[in-house]
Amino acid sequence: MTIEELEKQVSDLQAEKEAMNAKNKELLGEVKKLKAKKR
């Protein structure tokens, strides 16, 4: 594996992590909304 390939993999993983973080925030927002409704 070349440095370039490794760097590409790292940036792909970082992009994936960003997407997952965004999704998590979205889901946490949904959970908060549902909890608020139950009260």
CA triple 11-16-35, angle to 5 deg = 150
Instruction: Find the mean pLDDT for residues 2-29.
Output: 98
pTM over 0.85: no
Residue 35 to residue 28: CA distance in whole angstroms: 11
- Report the pLDDT value the prediction gives residue 38, as an integer from 0 to 100: 86
Residue 31 to residue 29: CA distance in whole angstroms: 5
- Report the pLDDT value the prediction gives residue 36, as an integer from 0 to 100: 95
Please state the length of the chain.
Answer: 39
Give just the sign of the alpha carbon dihedral 7, 10, 16, 19. Answer: negative
Percentage of residues in the chain with pLDDT exceeding 70? 100
